[in-house]
Structure 1
């Protein structure tokens, strides 16, 4: 417990929103694990069912007039699960964002097939087109440098479970880089080319059975090591590999 946490009283657990697991909280930061499918912040279509909105309500104990609030430090894609950090003041927010590139960030992903090497680093310059799809380019002036380190830790059923170190923090970086090496993330329809249509067919119109559920994106923010904005102590927040990921590489008995 930090010095700034000794007299801190958390809101009752009844205010804990669904889909969010609390990992740590004090006067300066709030660290949670979000589920796949939950937006970090609002979009044009979704305003209230976001981690930011739900956690603001949590720190306000349901009172919209409360002066308490949280501040966005970083984001996870809607379909990416895992560790998410919010600040509780502008000062804490700016400290974390200024130091963000130095923090260690580890992800797990299940991909189609097998990478060309058991471990390696994918490097490219990333840019975005008019329809907001990120892609790699060799033009240094057009894109921003991105580096993704990966290591294969398990294989099975034609898939590979990877441990990933995010060496830079660009939008959709992991998904683009893994697709670049021919191993797109399982469940990623945006960066898998023609495969999603063939592998996840739409149910026939005449069928009265339930529609086939789209597999979740197999990408998880598993661990984050940061420097606390008040105590300046190093803190690490870890989560487990989602059981769903393990099921995708579980070897069947012969």
Structure 2
């Protein structure tokens, strides 16, 4: 109880009355504090929107949202180049993963997001470990939720399809997308070399459905919004290959197009019902800046 009271004292709560963005809202609430000071508060994890830490200064606010602001950087904040905490409570933790690290350990890569979180829990004297619920490829960035209790883990794993209401990715793909929107449906199956093959007819694999929407299209590249109806291994990467617009930087399923030096796939949205309270939770990150940078070149204007 003492910890809760201390947290309540650190944050001052405000309710959004009219639609706006986060930065001017903070400035107004703090009596005209400077933009740099407001951004510093956000960068330090001192702003929460509907209980989730938000650091995006142009984050859109709608009437009824609750914004909590602190002038102090929270103690014991996780500082790691691979992991940023977006939301945390006693049952779950939502993080944004950088490229270059696995969601959970493998034989060759013991250092992973789980080990980072477990160390953070030890350092902050939390009697829990991170339970893996879903994964992102090593070279895919974006939002992940981990359970902090076995109860939360079991509920998330057993009811994933019903609990998750929107799971969205953004991808930079090769070539100009011809269609503005559509759906890819196929069966996905691995061969002995762990290469995933796609078939329009049942090949004994797993049925996969990906919804796509073209955000921006140019001669050489396109930016695509991707929504998973199913969550299969390599689903997005294989389905974009099926459309003849592979994800840029994909060394396994791509065509060698690599304008930004990474797999251009980012999990930017994750909405789900809290496994214990049933509360609807919504998380979203900005598109990676380098996904957009290719459109500034003279060839793709």
- Shorter-normalised TM-score: what interval? 0.7 to 0.9
CA offsets, 1:203-253, max 9 Å, x none? Answer: xxxxxxxxxx98100000000111101210110110000001001233528
- Residue 250 of structure 1 corresponds to 296
**Which of 132, 137, 141 lines up with 2:199 in the alignment?**
137
TM-score normalised by length of structure 1: 0.83
> Which of structures 1 and 2 has the larger relative contact order (alpha carbons within 8 angstroms, sep 6+)?
1
Moved more, 112-121 or 227-236: 112-121
1:119 maps to 2:181: yes
Identify the residue that residue 226 of structure 1 maps to in structure 2.
Answer: 272
**Which residue of 24, 29, 43 maps to 2:92?**
29
2:267 aligned counterpart, secondary structure: strand
CA distance in 2, matches of 1:178, 1:141: 19
Give unmatched runs, 5+ long, in structure 1: 201-212
What is the CA deviation profile of residues 31-61 of structure 1, one whole-angstrom value per residue up to 9, with x for unaligned ones?
000111111111222112x101111111111
Looking at structure 1, the residues matched to 284 and 176 of structure 2 have their Cα atoms a distance apart, in angstroms, of: 26
> Which of 53, 73, 89 matches 2:133?
73
Question: Does structure 1 residue 180 correspond to structure 2 residue 239?
Answer: no
Q: RMSD of aligned C-alpha atoms?
A: 2.4
Higher helix residue share: 2
- TM-score, normalization: structure 2? 0.71
Taking a change above 3 Å as real, the CA distance of residues 141 and 8 of structure 1, as seen in their structure-2 partners, is farther
2:81 maps to what in 1? Answer: 18
Structure 2: gaps (5+ residues): 8-73
Whether the 8 Å contact between 1:151 and 1:164 is mirrored in structure 2 is yes
In 1: Cα distance, 2:272 partner to 2:6 partner: 21
Secondary structure in structure 2 of the residue aligned to 1:42:
coil
The ranges of structure 1 where at least 4 consecutive aligned residues each deviate by more than 4 angstroms after the TM superposition are 5-11
Q: What is the CA-CA distance between 1:67 and the residue it aligns to?
A: 4.2
